[in-house]
Chains A and B, each alone.
Chain A
Amino acid sequence: MWKFIVKNFLYSLLVIIGVITVTFALLYIVPGDPARMLLGQRADEESVKRVKEELGLDKPITTQYLNFIMKAAQGDLGRSYATNREVAAIIIEKFPATALLAISAMLLSSILGVIIGVISAIRSYSFTDNASMVFALFGISIPQFVFALLMALVFGSILKWLPISGYITDGWDHLILPMLTLALRPLAIIARITRSSMLDVLNQDYIRTAKAKGLSEMKVVFKHSLRNALTPVVTTLSASLAATLGGAFFIEFIFNWPGIGLLAIDSILKLDFPMIQGTVLFSAIIFVLINFLVDIIYAFLDPKVKLA
């Protein structure tokens, strides 16, 4: 078991090094002089030179790259061009908002998604099933920013039921619209996967046996089928969680939710490169770490996973 954990951990580290390399490469080829961007266009040559030395920009690319990795490993992601504050500190400050939004949305979408999927599967090819599946396909087809705008339009501007901008410090109702919007896509995906996975299970012999020996439908569905059908659902859910914990970009942007996603888009619009680099890196590392944890949990729970 320990061997499995260590091996997976080392591989995750290897992926993270790749992630850092790509992030470094992305920003290295950006046109423009970082030192000048940090100081502004009117800075004199002397201070530009000094900052370049401070940031190590006068060194060859390999040294810069190694420096970048060493600094990133210590949690130093540089300073924001826009605010001159430490990138890592800002990210840590914004993370709780993103985590709250991601976790609440995932809870909602997993509960609703499984319920819709199960109902669709036991009433397969009925009107309810078709309607739910068209809804699910709609949920996958609508771009997040479009759905966010529609929600803001309907519940904010027309019905005026809910606030469309701000954080929970102004009241918990600020969470509702971003959460519903973020939940839609994973909800749709989970409903579809639960349905097809349930259909697979319901066709198995042991389910026929269970029915034949006179168990109630409820018992067959919930005790015998759902448990076995949930494995792919959990996989999807953990992938969604890993992706959204790195920030729900458009949703945070449109609802003005002060998390990593809003930070990322703001820094992109301001061309604040260290901040872009930091948020991209942070999201990717979160993704790798969550997947690492999920693999470990799987290995504990599912005897079929090979510990090789």
Chain B
Amino acid sequence: MKAEITGNKNIQGKSLWYYSWKRLKKNKLAMAGLVIIFIMIFIALLADVISPYNPNDQILEFATKPVNFEGTVLLKKSDNNESGFDYLPINNFLREENDSVYYEDFNRTERSINTNELISPDRNEYLTRLNFLLGTDRFGRDVLSRLIYGSRVSLSVGLISESIAIIIGLILGALAGYFRGAADKGIMWLINVVWAFPSILFVIAISVVLGKGFWQAFVAIGLTAWVDIARIVRGQFFSLREMEYIEATKAMGANPARVIIRHILPNCLGPVIITGTVGLANAIIFEASLSFLGLGVQPPTASWGQMIFDGYKYIIAGTNWGLALFPSLAIMIAVFSVNLFGDGIRDALDPKLTK
């Protein structure tokens, strides 16, 4: 007899993902992590809009200023600049006279500039105060703006390199776990070889070989990080391929590709997601470490690791801690929230904890 379940939605089965998401939503720490990750992604995407100043604009007169520093500038016309103006930092505005503006420069000398050279004759437009909320670095660049743009590098290198790692790891892990035998032996050997290298040194060595730069960083990280994914996927395949439903699909004539992709892979996504978030957190740390050594993205592009390196000399000297502290905090917050979220997923996907 056929069971009558149509028309009654209440007893329809819900997927593991549905229950996991429900459990995840209850986990406040994990949701806080997720919210912070989204905020960071937003900041990275909208950097052009949010950032108070251009992260690469240098005002040497305002170098290494403390938090919340305010400086006065005149806006000069400029042809070789996107924004259409240059900053002329001044110590004091003195007066407007005839067609000239008189000001005091940083040597306390009186100087003048013709209003034609300024962006507008209107004092409200050409005279402005710049506010550096988190201070400035040694080139007089705005630390806050550089932090905001730095999030792009961290997040994109993290996401792209971990995606590379997941793709390689899924393919090799699936092949090893499904076919076993020689394929498994070969892939396991490769995993053990890569595993043996200290990952950070391996990443550094690969980027030395590939040369400094943006894409080199994520290739180096991706080539190292896949082993964790491959191990997990292989283990999952080992147990899943013994399940009866797999035997059934094979008996129905499905070819290996179909069995792997449609029937086994979806069932090992949970562990892959968990390992992937850990990997993402590590990738962000690796990118920062590479930039710290000057091997990641190259200046003047802002990256957190490089900002820490620039600021670290000031820590040793005991001044301007903010220069190293703010990017450090940014990395910690990013990695911490990814880990919080990862821990939350781990708990949510764990059927043992089902309440």
Interface members, chain B 304-337 (any A CB < 8 Å): 308, 312, 315-318, 321, 324-325, 328, 331-332, 335-336
Interface stretch, picked from B158-166, B175-183, B197-205, is B197-205
**Chain B residues whose C-beta falls within 8 Å of the C-beta of A265 in the assembled complex:** 204, 293
Give Cα distance in the complex from A247 to B205, angstroms.
Answer: 14
- Residue A9 lies at the interface, judged by CB distance under 8 Å to chain B: no
The chain A residue with its CB closest to the CB of B210 is A29
- Residue A168 lies at the interface, judged by CB distance under 8 Å to chain B: no
Is the beta-carbon distance between A143 and B335 smaller than 8 angstroms?
Answer: yes
- Residue B297 lies at the interface, judged by CB distance under 8 Å to chain A: no
Is the beta-carbon distance between B315 and A146 smaller than 8 angstroms?
Answer: no
A88 to chain B, nearest CB (A): 18
**Chain B residues whose C-beta falls within 8 Å of the C-beta of A4 in the assembled complex:** none
A165 to chain B, nearest CB (A): 8
The chain B residue with its CB closest to the CB of A22 is B193
Give Cα distance in the complex from A52 to B318, angstroms.
Answer: 49
Is the beta-carbon distance between A280 and B197 smaller than 8 angstroms?
Answer: yes
- Residue A279 lies at the interface, judged by CB distance under 8 Å to chain B: yes
**Chain A residues whose C-beta falls within 8 Å of the C-beta of B332 in the assembled complex:** 138, 141-143, 146
Interface stretch, picked from A40-48, A108-116, A282-290, A295-303, is A282-290
Is the beta-carbon distance between B308 and A145 smaller than 8 angstroms?
Answer: yes
Interface stretch, picked from A13-21, A76-84, A209-217, A227-235, is A13-21
Is the beta-carbon distance between A269 and B336 smaller than 8 angstroms?
Answer: no
Give Cα distance in the complex from A265 to B190, angstroms.
Answer: 26
- Residue A137 lies at the interface, judged by CB distance under 8 Å to chain B: yes
Choice from A15, A140, A276 contacting B193 with Cβ under 8 Å: A15
The chain B residue with its CB closest to the CB of A283 is B198
Interface stretch, picked from A57-65, A67-75, A150-158, A218-226, is A150-158
Is the beta-carbon distance between A149 and B208 smaller than 8 angstroms?
Answer: no
The chain A residue with its CB closest to the CB of B292 is A145
The chain A residue with its CB closest to the CB of B317 is A157
Give Cα distance in the complex from A140 to B288, angstroms.
Answer: 15
Q: Interface readout for B273-307 with A: 1 if CB under 8 Å, 0 if not?
A: 00000000100010011001111000000000000
Give Cα distance in the complex from A285 to B292, angstroms.
Answer: 27
**Chain A residues whose C-beta falls within 8 Å of the C-beta of B325 in the assembled complex:** 153
Is the beta-carbon distance between A268 and B193 smaller than 8 angstroms?
Answer: no
Is the beta-carbon distance between B189 and A19 smaller than 8 angstroms?
Answer: no
**Chain B residues whose C-beta falls within 8 Å of the C-beta of A143 in the assembled complex:** 285, 288-289, 331-332, 335
Interface members, chain A 250-308 (any B CB < 8 Å): 250, 254, 264-265, 268-269, 271, 276, 279-280, 283-285, 287-288
**Chain A residues whose C-beta falls within 8 Å of the C-beta of B195 in the assembled complex:** 287
The chain B residue with its CB closest to the CB of A160 is B318
Is the beta-carbon distance between A268 and B197 smaller than 8 angstroms?
Answer: no
Is the beta-carbon distance between A284 and B198 smaller than 8 angstroms?
Answer: yes
- Residue B206 lies at the interface, judged by CB distance under 8 Å to chain A: yes
Is the beta-carbon distance between B209 and A250 smaller than 8 angstroms?
Answer: no
Is the beta-carbon distance between B316 and A157 smaller than 8 angstroms?
Answer: yes
Is the beta-carbon distance between A29 and B209 smaller than 8 angstroms?
Answer: yes
Interface size class, chain A = 35 or more
**Interface residues on chain B, number (Cβ under 8 Å):** 43
- Residue B151 lies at the interface, judged by CB distance under 8 Å to chain A: no
- Residue B216 lies at the interface, judged by CB distance under 8 Å to chain A: no
The chain A residue with its CB closest to the CB of B284 is A143
The chain B residue with its CB closest to the CB of A29 is B209
Give Cα distance in the complex from A287 to B293, angstroms.
Answer: 24
A9 to chain B, nearest CB (A): 14
- Residue B343 lies at the interface, judged by CB distance under 8 Å to chain A: yes
B168 to chain A, nearest CB (A): 15
Is the beta-carbon distance between B315 and A152 smaller than 8 angstroms?
Answer: yes
Is the beta-carbon distance between A247 and B315 smaller than 8 angstroms?
Answer: no
Is the beta-carbon distance between B315 and A149 smaller than 8 angstroms?
Answer: yes
Give Cα distance in the complex from A109 to B205, angstroms.
Answer: 28
Is the beta-carbon distance between B335 and A141 smaller than 8 angstroms?
Answer: yes
Is the beta-carbon distance between B196 and A153 smaller than 8 angstroms?
Answer: no
Is the beta-carbon distance between A138 and B336 smaller than 8 angstroms?
Answer: yes
Is the beta-carbon distance between A153 and B201 smaller than 8 angstroms?
Answer: no
- Residue A66 lies at the interface, judged by CB distance under 8 Å to chain B: no
Known: A18-B193, A283-B198. A141 touches B209 (CB 8 A): no
**Chain A residues whose C-beta falls within 8 Å of the C-beta of B208 in the assembled complex:** 30, 268, 271, 276
Choice from B194, B196, B312, B336 contacting A137 with Cβ under 8 Å: B336
Choice from B197, B288, B331 contacting A284 with Cβ under 8 Å: B197
The chain B residue with its CB closest to the CB of A138 is B336
Interface members, chain A 18-45 (any B CB < 8 Å): 18-19, 21-22, 26-27, 29-31
Is the beta-carbon distance between A280 and B201 smaller than 8 angstroms?
Answer: yes
Give Cα distance in the complex from A269 to B207, angstroms.
Answer: 12
- Residue B236 lies at the interface, judged by CB distance under 8 Å to chain A: no
Interface members, chain A 136-179 (any B CB < 8 Å): 137-138, 140-146, 149-150, 152-153, 156-158, 164
- Residue B249 lies at the interface, judged by CB distance under 8 Å to chain A: no
- What is the interface of chain A, defined by CB distance below 8 A to chain B? 14-16, 18-19, 21-22, 26-27, 29-31, 137-138, 140-146, 149-150, 152-153, 156-158, 164, 243, 246-247, 249-250, 254, 264-265, 268-269, 271, 276, 279-280, 283-285, 287-288
- What is the interface of chain B, defined by CB distance below 8 A to chain A? 189-190, 192-198, 200-202, 204-206, 208-209, 211, 281, 285, 288-289, 292-295, 308, 312, 315-318, 321, 324-325, 328, 331-332, 335-336, 339-340, 343
Give 25 pairs: A residue, B residue, CB < 8 Å, sorted on A: A14-B189, A22-B197, A29-B209, A31-B211, A137-B339, A137-B343, A138-B336, A143-B335, A146-B332, A149-B308, A149-B312, A149-B324, A149-B328, A150-B328, A156-B316, A157-B317, A247-B201, A249-B201, A249-B204, A250-B289, A254-B312, A269-B293, A280-B201, A287-B197, A288-B196
